[in-house]
A and B are shown apart, each in its own frame.
Chain A
């Protein structure tokens, strides 16, 4: 006898994500989910971004990592409150799910936060599948990775609202075809803004900051 269920496996996560979304809207907090492969320069980029945002845009950070508190320690130097999740001495999750974010957000007084940045686990696969209640998703790719990365991880590049191509200061030392990389990103997601930056030298950061500030201010409007 067949019993129709018609239920999404990720229902539980999606329900919690919707609750998160409502909470962050009620408390007027813009949530940015930042994803990438390991080593793309996410943490450095976020450190520079937060330094430019504070104190005008009050920022808090949730960092996800399988192991260590290194990224949280680095970002705490900006003065923003930072919470590290998923840390266990030898192993944690490969992505952040909605219930993890809900719990971590309890560490902040949301009335004092304008922007909550979630630095997701370095992984181009799983994080793309898990709605955490964010307002925007960003993927960071670096010029030391293959130009065809976007073609290999289409779901990630499809679900993101913006892409950052980092480490452009290294281009003179590489045989990297930047135009091909950007073409590939746009092939997967036509119309996606691509910000070419060097987090290290801060070259190109302005356009990224303008985009982010506009989005945050739009949500925070009374």
Chain B
């Protein structure tokens, strides 16, 4: 395995640096030694159910900046997903997608 691609939301309780640190330790001397970890940090975005405003939340405030409504829905920011893995190209393999 050459790489693992993760999507980690900013509101999740996972710290990318710590994850990287642990991944290097755990993967060393294993079947995936040398694999790189690619982390896409997903911002916290929200939709206001009162006025349809769509914005990015950057601080500890969860109400609509346009109309102050508290009726909001978080659209992104809590992900902890493996989006894909990168493996060595083998000329006998066909391209494939695996969805779980």
Binding site for B on A (CB under 8 A): 1-11, 125-126, 128-129, 150-151, 154-155, 158, 184, 186-191
Contacts and interface: CB of A to CB of B under 8 A. Distances in A.
A35 to B, nearest CB: 13
B27 interface: no
A188 B60 contact: yes
A190 B60 contact: no
Nearest to A1: B89
A184 B63 CA distance: 12
Contacts of B83: 4-6
Contacts of A2: 5, 84-86
A8 B81 contact: yes
Interface in B60-87: 60-63, 69-72, 74, 78-87
Contacts of A189: 62, 70
A135 B32 CA distance: 40
A19 B69 CA distance: 35
Contacts of A6: 81-84, 99-100
B100 A5 contact: yes
Interface residues of B, number: 33
A1 B63 CA distance: 43
A187 B62 CA distance: 6
Q: Per DSSP, are chain B's interface residues mostly helix, strand or loop, or mixed?
A: loop
Given A150-B60, A190-B70, A4 B97 contact: yes
Contacts of B82: 5-7, 9
A55 to B, nearest CB: 38
Interface in B4-27: 5, 11-13
B85 A3 contact: yes
B85 A5 contact: yes
A3 B97 contact: yes
B99 A4 contact: yes
Contacts of A129: 12-13, 80
B93 interface: yes
B30 interface: no
A216 B61 CA distance: 31
A157 to B, nearest CB: 9
A158 B98 contact: no
26 contacts: A1-B86, A1-B93, A2-B5, A3-B86, A3-B98, A5-B84, A5-B99, A5-B100, A6-B81, A7-B100, A8-B79, A8-B80, A9-B80, A9-B81, A10-B80, A11-B100, A150-B60, A154-B60, A155-B11, A155-B78, A187-B62, A188-B60, A189-B62, A190-B69, A190-B70, A191-B70
